[in-house]
Amino acid sequence: MSILTVSNISKKFEHTEVLKEISFKMERGDVLSILGSSGSGKTTLLRILNFLETADTGSITVNDEVTFDASNAGTKSEAEIRKNRLHFGMVFQSFNLFPQYTALQNVMLARELLEKAKPEFKTDKKRILEKIETEALELLNQMGLSDRKGHYPHQLSGGQCQRVAIARALALSPDILCFDEPTSALDPELTGEVLRVMKELADKNTTMIIVTHEIPFARDVSDRILFMDGGVIVEEGSPSEVIENPKEERTKQFLSKSNIK
């Protein structure tokens, strides 16, 4: 059983076709990297998975459950969309941490709000809040940020911010964790620390979709690579197939322009 099945996703902005009939599958524990130049549609694809955009056609299935179907997209209630959204976690290029909350509060906030909405919260308030905090601290520890839990985002470096953002996404235990160019906004000397924690997550069999320009990193962590161009998947396969021995002319051109060592 595939954890994620994407079929025939298309999307138009005004008159530009950004995605044309995109279909792919991924298995639990897979790391899937999506490569492609700017404007190839890879970020839009990620945003559609997270319901930040709505596809014009196609469907998305997670664990045999259809989370999105363009034919009835308008009929879903906000609550249903929110529930389906939680299958995915999202890490943004620009972190989007909440500036008025500390690192720890950033990680805890969404979990707290979800738990508070449940009926059992009232009776077992103290234990649930303690559990959320313990798990959040554990996640920050995993990101190497135990000593930064009380810091506000503006007191953290870009790399630290992005690691808090990863912890924040993990706090809701998503089935699939999505990264939208997570190191593009970082100074080169800070990308390493972010890539290292992503590698650790990959090693722990976290299911991840990574939109990235870091081709050597994609080659090292990914189980599969999608290469997109002009809104279609040009080539897909293992890193050795797509990166080491690309078959398509467009893939070769893209890889030769991005100087890999």
Partner 1 sequence: MKLIISQMPVVLESLNIGFLQTLKLFFVTLLGGFPLGLVMAFGSMSKFKPLSAITKLVIWFFRGTPLMIQLLIIYYFPGLVLGNPVWGGGEAGRFAAASLSFILNYSCYFSEIYRGGIQSVPIGQEEAGLVLGMTKGQIFFKVKLLQMIKHIVPPMSNEIITLVKDTSLARIIALQEIIWAGQSFMKGSKGISGAIWPMFFTAFYYLIFNGIMTVILSKLEKKLEFFR
Least distance CB 252 / partner 1 (angstroms) = 35
The residues facing 209 across adjacent strands are 32, 178
> For residues 50 and 68, what is the distance between their CA atoms, to the nearest angstrom?
10
* Residue number with CB closer to partner 1 (82 or 125): 82
Nearer to partner 1, 22 or 46 (CB): 46
Output the DSSP codes for 7-65. Answer: EEEEEEETTEEEEEEEEEEE-TT-EEEEE--TTSSHHHHHHHHTTSS--SEEEEEETTE
**Residue number with CB closer to partner 1 (46 or 242):** 46
Task: Name the minimum Å distance from CB 83 to partner 1.
Answer: 8
Instruction: Report the nearest approach of partner 1 to the CB of residue 200 (Å).
Output: 22
Contact between 41 and 56 under an 8 Å Cβ cutoff? The reply is no
Chain residues that interact with partner 1, rule: CB under 8 A = 50-52, 78, 82-83, 85-86, 88-90, 92, 94, 96-100, 109-110, 113-114, 152-154, 168-169, 172
Other residues' Cβ atoms within 10 Å of the Cβ of residue 29: 13
CB of 237 to partner 1, least distance (A): 29
| Minimum CB distance to partner 1 smaller for 146 or for 155 | 155
Distance CA 173, CA 171 (A): 5
